[in-house]
A and B are shown apart, each in its own frame.
Chain A
Amino acid sequence: MTKVKDATIPTIPVQARLSRWFGRNLIRIYAFFGFTYLFIPVAYTFAFSFNDSGKSNLIWKGFTLKNWQNPCGAPEICTALGNSIKIGLIATIFSTILGTMIAFAIGRYAFKGRSTSNLLIFLPMATPEIVLGASLLSLFLVFQINPGFWPTVIAHVVFCVSFVVVTVKARIASLDPRLEQAAMDLYANEFQTFRRVTLPLVAPGIAAAALLAFSLSFDDFIITNFNSGTLTTFPKFVYVSAARGIPAQANVIGSAMFFLALAIVIAGQLISKKTKVTK
């Protein structure tokens, strides 16, 4: 659209315009720097996954794809990764089932002891990880259970359950109760209503909770360190090798996890956009 400049139209002084623009966009500029801060280490990790580094990945020695072609190249790394994935999957399944049941109880029913239940759910989140880890370890020691795979799984379920409850509960709270009433009005009994209406509507919340539980479990170091004994997980591998330099393969796995999770989240958002039902 081109318009002939008309001298009779009053214009706004450039200075006023600039100061307004700045006022409006200051926070955007700030946010840009905030995001930069967030992504510097991620970008660094990604970049150094291409480093032709040899054993210690400290300084840039040249570009190579061989770390990506051979992610298991560093000793122990894929065993550690495998353990992390196994622990993460099992812990996710258990914590999602237990947490979803609790979320339905708290989110759907008024019953005696509801606020106490809420407190019990809140407590593990308010307990520092190191206390959770240390206390579980001392319990296992008392019962002479050796730290290892299953103790680690149990420890992960403990701290994941609360996050699952909170996430699923939020989804349940956002449901329109009239939808369930409508289902009952249309001859669905309690079970059918749950199966055909409630569950499909809460499903995205459960999926989000499961994803959260997995990423918490996968990334956990402190609690794992207390309860895993000689078992290596991916974070433990990174921590132990941090002293003498982390192999570039760790960067490959970290970056791959990043892109994989990003893809899952974005796909999830696209799906939920298509099937948006709640307000």
Chain B
Amino acid sequence: MRMSKTLSKVKLPYLLLLPGFLFLFTFFILPILNLAQTSTQTPIAGGDTGEYEQTLRFANYIDAFIENREQFARSFIFAICATLLALAIAYPLAYAIAFKAGRFKNILLVLIIAPFFTSFLLRTVAWKQILGEEGFVVPPLRTFGIISESTTLTSTSFAVVLGMTYNFLPFMTLPLYASLERIDPRTMEASGDLYANGITTFRRVTLPLSMPGVVAGTLLTFIPAAGDYVNAAILGNPNSKMLGNVIESRFFKIVDYPTAAALSFTLMAAILILVTLYIRKAGTEELV
């Protein structure tokens, strides 16, 4: 009696995990493995477009990388820029909500996630129109001579980075808020009391204590930004294409599955390596 009860207790967590993990295995692990397999295929000689055979050609990776190294670099540079920009915008925002909002705290938190609810594509398109020739930004800037007649804001790398920064801002703000909110404000007062001015207090107390939020926020921003192609497609130009755009067109337009798979895999591997290095450096393991 006693024996069977403890046994079922031991089994219970596994039973709870089983359906979810079966699902994730079938539709997450298996596809990734399959993708790995696809990435080393080559076209069947004389076959139709989109027919490939397994040849374990690892050179696919080298070819794909060399061919698309520019987009590769751009993906990471844009993602890093967007992440840093989002951090710079989100940190004071999260700080203000955590420490200066008083009873408006919950309302402001809702406002942070609220833009989410308007489709992100609609908002991205809205940026395109706002920054466009007929929006309310460009004409005044031209009138005051801040930008020249020939300068445009849309179809630029700047617009792509701005769009990504915007789209992933809540992902940055929420974890930052969560870790800032856990800080006892008295520790910051204590720092001021112990002869640290505002900047030193930030550097020595607030920032180190909010590091878990910084790490989580930058990851949650960087990862989707590096794989994004919607912002580049809507706000960019042919010269601001990112890796995502290439993968998409390889899949759908050229039907070059092996290259698309190799690129996907390289992207994922690069992100995982960067993230691992970053977490090591930032010295925190608790992410979620």
Which residues of A pack against B, CB within 8 Å?
23, 27-28, 30-31, 34-35, 37-42, 44-45, 48, 58-59, 98-99, 101-102, 104-106, 108-109, 111, 114, 117-118, 120-132, 134-139, 141-142, 154-155, 157-158, 161, 166, 215, 218-219, 221-222, 225-226, 234-235, 238-239, 242, 246, 250-251, 254-255, 257-258, 260-262, 265-266, 269
- A27, A129, A135: the one contacting B224 at CB < 8 Å is A129
Say how far B221's CB is from chain A's closest CB, in angstroms: 12
In the complex, residue of chain A having the shortest beta-carbon distance to the beta carbon of B106: A269
A34-B31 contact, Cβ under 8 Å, with A221-B230, A238-B125: no
Q: Which of B20-28, B59-67, B148-156, B181-189 contacts A (4 or more CB under 8 A)?
A: B20-28
Q: How far is the CB of B133 from chain A (nearest CB, A)?
A: 10
Complex partner residue of A254 from B122, B127, B275, CB under 8 angstroms: B122
Question: Which B residues form the contact surface with A (CB < 8 A)?
Answer: 10, 12-14, 16-17, 19-21, 23-24, 27-28, 30-32, 34-35, 38, 89-90, 92-93, 95-97, 100, 106, 108, 110-130, 132, 134, 166, 169, 198, 219-220, 223-224, 226-230, 233-234, 244, 247-248, 251, 257, 260-261, 264-265, 267-268, 271-272, 275, 287-288
Query: How far is the CB of A264 from the nearest CB of chain B, in Å?
Result: 9
Chain B: which residue is nearest A142 at the CB level?
A: B34
Given A30-B96, A128-B268; A111-B24 close (CB under 8 Å): no
Chain B contact surface mostly: helix
B28 and A124 within 8 A (CB): yes
Known contacts A41-B122, A45-B118, A109-B12, then 4 further A-B pairs from the complex at CB < 8 Å, ordered by chain A residue: A129-B224, A235-B121, A239-B230, A260-B117
Kindly list the 9 A-B residue pairs having the minimum CB-CB distance in the complex, ordered from nearest. A128-B227, A31-B96, A261-B117, A135-B31, A41-B126, A105-B16, A98-B20, A109-B13, A41-B123
Report whether A39 and B121 are in contact in the complex, using a CB–CB cutoff of 8 Å. no
| Contact residues in A for B271 (Cβ distance below 8 Å) | 126, 128
User: How far does the Cβ of B220 sit from chain A's closest Cβ, in whole Å?
Assistant: 8
Q: Determine whether the beta carbon of A222 is less than 8 Å from that of B110.
A: no
A157 and B264 CA atoms in complex are apart in Å by 21
Contact A131 B28 (CB under 8 A): no
> Which residues of the partner chain A approach B267 to less than 8 Å between Cβ atoms?
128, 130-131
Partner of B120, one of A35, A109, A138, A219: A219
Q: Tell me the complex Cα distance, A126–B132, Å.
A: 34
Task: Out of B35, B113, B119, B224, name the residue touching A257 (CB < 8 Å).
Answer: B119
Known contacts: A130-B244, A269-B110. The answer to whether A238 contacts B130 by CB under 8 A is no
Quick check: A139 and B30 within 8 Å, CB to CB? yes
Q: CA of A127 to CA of B248 in the docked complex: distance in angstroms?
A: 16
The reply to whether A58 and B92 contact each other, CB–CB distance below 8 Å, is no
Contact among B27, B115, B230, B234 for A222, CB-based, below 8 A: B230
- Alpha-carbon separation in the docked complex, A242 to B132 (Å): 13
Instruction: Determine the distance from Cα of A105 to Cα of B265 in the docked complex, in whole angstroms.
Output: 31
What residues of A have a CB within 8 angstroms of the CB of B264 in the complex?
130-131, 134-135
CB-based contact A41/B227 at 8 Å = no
Q: List 8 A-B contacts (CB under 8 A).
A: A37-B166, A58-B134, A125-B223, A130-B247, A132-B28, A154-B27, A158-B23, A219-B119
Q: Are B115 and A39 closer than 8 Å at their CB atoms?
A: yes
Whether B24 and A31, one on each chain, are in contact in the complex, defined by CB atoms closer than 8 angstroms, is no
Contact at A137–B10, with CB atoms within 8 Å? no
Assess whether B119 is in contact with A238, with CB atoms less than 8 Å apart: yes
Q: How far is the CA of A59 from the CA of B89 in the complex (A)?
A: 30
Question: Does A40 lie within 8 Å of B130, measured CB to CB?
Answer: yes
A41 touches B35 (CB 8 A): no
Distance, CA A163 to CA B11, complexed state (A): 25
Select which of A31, A40, A122 is within 8 A of B92 by beta carbon: A31
Taking CB atoms, residues of chain B closer than 8 Å to A139 are 27, 30-31, 34-35
Query: Closest chain B residue to A47 by CB distance?
Result: B126
Contacts A124-B28, A130-B229; A42 near B97 (Cβ below 8 A): no
CA distance A102 to B23 in the complex (A): 12
Partner of B17, one of A37, A58, A101, A123: A101
In the bound complex, do residue A158 and residue B28 qualify as a contact, i.e. CB atoms below 8 Å apart? yes
Chain A residues in 8 Å Cβ range of B129: 44, 48, 58
